[in-house]
Amino acid sequence: MRGDRVALDRFTLRIEKGEHVCLLGPNGCGKSTLIKTLTRELYPLVVDGASMAILGQDRWDVAELRTMLGIVSPDLLAMCTTRTTGRDVVLSGFFSSTRIFPHRHRVTPDLAARADAAMARLGIAHLADRPLDEMSSGEAKRTVVARALVHDPHSLVFDEPSSTLDIGAQFELREAMRKLAQSGTGVVLVTHHVHEIIPEIERVVLLRNGRVAGDGPKESMLTERALRETFGAEVRLMSREGYFYAY
């Protein structure tokens, strides 16, 4: 529920571990509520016949669960302290924080090495000592992706990943997402932008008014008719080199 409004209603969805899937729908369709339900910031109402399991379990220690799922969201980036260095942002993922507090957090050589490896994997090792507020928007976003990767999670959840990014930074982030998907890391993309759907994503789930409006292979979901019904607008669609573009 969102106040008196049902945010997700009679909602059924199953995503396999390691699957590459996109949840696509307009603003207000329930995407953010779904992510917060996955991370246990929100919980479903207790009603007859309802159930929810993540990685096969219906009960979790929340801190442990968040090491299994890497979340990349605009909210998380906004919470990062601007003078925090890239390495500390990545290290903070081990402590469910957004910065390092020396009196509370013990950074071992092993954790430091894993943080450096995550940054190197995304091609941002040179940002380790750079404060966040001296990075471009694309560099900052990739730093948050490295934070999500530092645990070697089962799946990465990208919430509106291109928000605030210029065209060049969007291209860089899409390439980073493609490499992660190709390496075997599950990618769950949550967006209202068709052009963010990387070629490696094979399944698209259409959301509308808190319900699943369509679920199937990408090519059968990304049609002009399906997008018109989902977004309530006249849509034209084209595809090129594995990407789809709506206009």
* pLDDT tens digit sequence for 24-70: 999 989 998 998 888 888 888 888 888 888 888 888 888 788 778 88
Q: Is the residue at 150 inside a domain?
A: yes
Q: Is the residue at 147 inside a domain?
A: yes
pLDDT above 90 (res 216): yes
pLDDT tens per residue, range 107-132: 999 999 999 999 999 999 999 999 99
Q: Is the residue at 53 inside a domain?
A: no
Q: Is the residue at 113 inside a domain?
A: yes
pLDDT above 80 (res 164): no
> How confident is residue 217, by pLDDT bands cut at 50, 70 and 90?
very high
Q: Is the residue at 10 inside a domain?
A: no
pLDDT above 90 (res 17): no
Domain around 233: 20-40+60-246
Average pLDDT along the chain: 91
Residue 242: give its domain's CATH number: 3.40.50.300
pLDDT of residue 45: 86
How far apart CA 98 and CA 144 sit, in angstroms, is: 9
Q: Is the residue at 75 inside a domain?
A: yes
Q: Is the residue at 14 inside a domain?
A: no
What is the number of domains present in the chain? 1
Q: Is the residue at 109 inside a domain?
A: yes
Name the percent of the chain lying above pLDDT 70: 100
How far apart CA 39 and CA 60 sit, in angstroms, is: 10
pLDDT above 80 (res 141): yes
pLDDT tens per residue, range 68-105: 888 888 887 788 777 899 999 999 999 888 888 888 88
